[in-house]
């Protein structure tokens, strides 16, 4: 393992990468150089392996073959590991290191105006890379938004995630039905406690009307009302059936002064 920025000799440098491995294969006109650990090198730089392979092809003037499924990255011709490692340092300086702090923890993004924007996560510096190298055209056609994660899954865009969420929520609403139940049209059931309380109030009213309970005040009728949010009990002051007059208590007599009192 070596430092990503090989210009720094600090042994405690936190950003490391493996050395390039070059394996010459074939003979004659079909000779080519394969890089078996290209996937590991590109992952340590947080760049697609195809970017590094295309950069080697542009700098060496050779045709490249990229097969991401089989992790095959081939450059035509005979090339040694030292030469390719020196070329990798140029790629890191142009497309990886931050132009402000020199940190390799950067992200690339292709804007709507076909500009390659580099954003540094360490210091927050943002700039547009010069469109001089031939690799920029390949980056425009293959933006880094399609970079695969470590598990091999492609990262979805914001629009794709939102569409999948809306589709999932629509299926859940159809399964539950319009009222959130099993999809039937049966009305919601009332609670048993409210039914018992309403029954007790009706019994009390019947007993008062028969004369079992005598009172001079009008009775309170308890009603149960159903609203959109649920069922609740409300009390309204409504005069109910009164008891017979014979069972009512006699009205008190008017107060009068005693005869022994004299006025001055």
**What is the pLDDT, as a whole number, of residue 204?**
60
**What is the pLDDT, as a whole number, of residue 167?**
86
For residue 166, give the 3-state DSSP assignment.
helix
**What is the pLDDT, as a whole number, of residue 87?**
93
The CA distances from residue 163 to 115, 209, 236, in Å, are 27, 65, 51
For the chain, what is the largest distance between any 2 Cα atoms, rounded to a whole number of angstroms? 149
| Token pair 């969420």 in the structure block, residue | 165
How far apart are the C-alpha atoms of 34 and 75, rounded to whole Å?
A: 6
Name the pTM for this structure. Answer: 0.54
Task: Let me know how many helices (H) and strands (E) the chain has, helices first.
Answer: 6, 11
**What is the pLDDT, as a whole number, of residue 195?**
54
How wide is the angle at C-alpha 261 spanned by C-alphas 258 and 264, nearest 5°? 150
Query: In CATH, what class is 2-146?
Result: alpha beta
The CA distances from residue 174 to 163, 169, 240, in Å, are 17, 9, 48
List b or e across 127-154, with b for residues whose CB sees 16 or more CB atoms inside 10 angstroms: eebeeebebbeebeebeeeebeeeeeee
**What is the pLDDT, as a whole number, of residue 200?**
55
Q: What is the pLDDT along the chain (264 residues), one digit of tens a residue?
A: 888 888 888 888 899 999 999 999 988 888 999 999 999 999 999 999 999 999 999 999 999 998 888 888 999 999 999 999 999 999 999 999 999 988 999 999 988 888 899 999 988 899 999 888 899 989 988 888 644 444 445 556 677 888 888 888 876 666 655 554 444 454 555 545 555 555 555 666 556 655 544 444 444 444 445 444 555 555 555 555 555 555 555 666 677 666 666 555
């Amino acid at each position: 393992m070596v430092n990503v920025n090989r210009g720094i000799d600090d042994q405690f440098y936190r950003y490391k990468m493996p050395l390039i491995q070059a394996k010459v294969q074939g003979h004659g006109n079909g000779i080519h150089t394969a890089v078996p650990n290209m996937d590991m090198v590109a992952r340590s730089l947080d760049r697609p392996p195809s970017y590094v392979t295309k950069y080697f092809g542009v700098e060496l003037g050779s045709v490249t073959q990229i097969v991401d499924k089989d992790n095959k990255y081939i450059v035509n011709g005979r090339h040694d590991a030292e030469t390719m490692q020196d070329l990798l340092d140029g790629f890191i300086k142009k497309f990886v290191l931050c132009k402000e702090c020199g940190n390799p923890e950067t992200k690339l993004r292709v804007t709507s105006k076909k500009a390659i924007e580099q954003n540094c996560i360490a210091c927050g510096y943002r700039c547009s890379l010069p469109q001089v190298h031939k690799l920029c055209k390949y980056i425009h056609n293959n933006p880094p938004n399609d970079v695969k994660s470590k598990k091999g899954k492609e990262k979805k865009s914001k629009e794709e995630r939102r569409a999948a969420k809306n589709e999932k929520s629509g299926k859940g609403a159809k399964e539950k039905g319009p009222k959130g139940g099993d999809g039937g049209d049966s009305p919601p059931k009332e609670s048993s406690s409210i039914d018992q309380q309403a029954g007790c109030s009706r019994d009390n009213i019947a007993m008062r009307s028969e004369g079992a309970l005598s009172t001079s005040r009008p009775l309170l009728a308890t009603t149960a009302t159903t609203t959109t949010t649920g069922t609740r009990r409300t009390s309204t002051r409504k005069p109910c059936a009164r008891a017979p007059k014979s069972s009512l208590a006699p009205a008190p007599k008017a107060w009068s002064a005693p005869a022994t009192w004299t006025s001055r």
